[in-house]
A and B are shown apart, each in its own frame.
Chain A
Amino acid sequence: MAEPSRKRRIEGGDVHRDRPRGKSDPTAPPESLAALDRLIHERVRLGIVSALAVNDSLTFQELKDLLGVTDGNLSVHARRLEEAGYIACKKTFALRVPRSEYRLTPEGRRALERHLEHLAAVIRWARS
């Protein structure tokens, strides 16, 4: 039973399965950090989303330099976010050199905001 559920998340069809409860029900404590949106909880993906949140767009090379990851690692994580609809990629050619330009989608921005809200809720709960 667990495998189909995990697969759905990977494919981006159910990325909010573990959606935090903080904002809709402020009195309910977040059980743990495991309740976060797992898609952007992972470090590289969280870095991609955070970097794109403060830029209109960033190229593959810029993201790679910023996050200090390999081409393959960045490709895999960026594709996961793309599949979930959190980021959009525009592929172009400049002087026959392929370029990938990434942007944060409205859904991706909302996911980051939810993530931040949940982290804040965890801190409030832990201090209470």
Chain B
Amino acid sequence: MSRARRSDPAESPVLEDRAQEHLRFIRSAMERAGSFTAVPGWGGVAMGITALAAAWLASRAVTPEAWLSTWLVESVVAFLIGCAAIRVKAARSGTPLFDGSARRFALTLAPPIAAGAIATVALARQGQTGILPGLWLLLYGAAVVTGGAASVRVVPLLGVSLMALGAAALAAPAGWGDAFLAAGFGGLQIGFGVYIARRHGG
């Protein structure tokens, strides 16, 4: 029977087309399924907008304390926005908040953020606020890379971009700190946030 089919010139193209169509279906299902991420795109956009506002306010601060206070308030606002956005996205996708990818993302994000908070306190006490923008971008980028390691590719790419910006900020004059923070926490987060929101479910 198989010999007969092999010799039938009309059979092979039909079978090949059907097999190819099956493979396309499998590839498509895998691609769509692989695009799910707990990282909230619109949350990133909101965090980016508040970061731009913070950068504008901080650039007008007259004392290092006022400058630091502005960014500390921004970090709390961004944290709350991030938590709310992860919660909303997890609820929309039916993913358990404390037993799913959102939890893994938050847990892997936390260590570099905690390291950044400790380093901030230590450096602020010594009055070395000039290197904080680079340090924050570097550690937040590292947090996004580790947190997004199991996510869609664009998330760790955002982290690497933030790290590169942080490295550049550390090499640049201290006076450019707010511009780097606006570019990283603002521009990059808004850009990547819009992309994630449009391509990866909100």
Contact = CB atoms under 8 A, between A and B. Distances in A.
Main secondary structure of the interface of B (DSSP, over half): helix
Given A32-B5, A55-B34, A125-B6, A50 B99 contact: no
Given A32-B5, A60-B94, A62-B94, 18 more contacts: A29-B2, A29-B5, A33-B15, A33-B18, A46-B26, A51-B33, A54-B30, A54-B33, A54-B34, A55-B36, A56-B101, A57-B100, A66-B33, A67-B29, A112-B26, A119-B23, A120-B19, A122-B19
Contacts of A61: 93-94
A47 interface: yes
A69 interface: no
B12 A50 contact: no
A50 B33 contact: yes
B31 to A, nearest CB: 8
Contacts of A43: 25
A94 interface: yes
A109 to B, nearest CB: 13
Interface in B6-44: 6, 11-13, 15-16, 18-20, 22-23, 25-26, 29-30, 32-34, 36
Interface string A2-45: 00000000000000000000000000110111000000000100
A51 B30 contact: yes
Nearest to A29: B2
B16 A99 contact: no
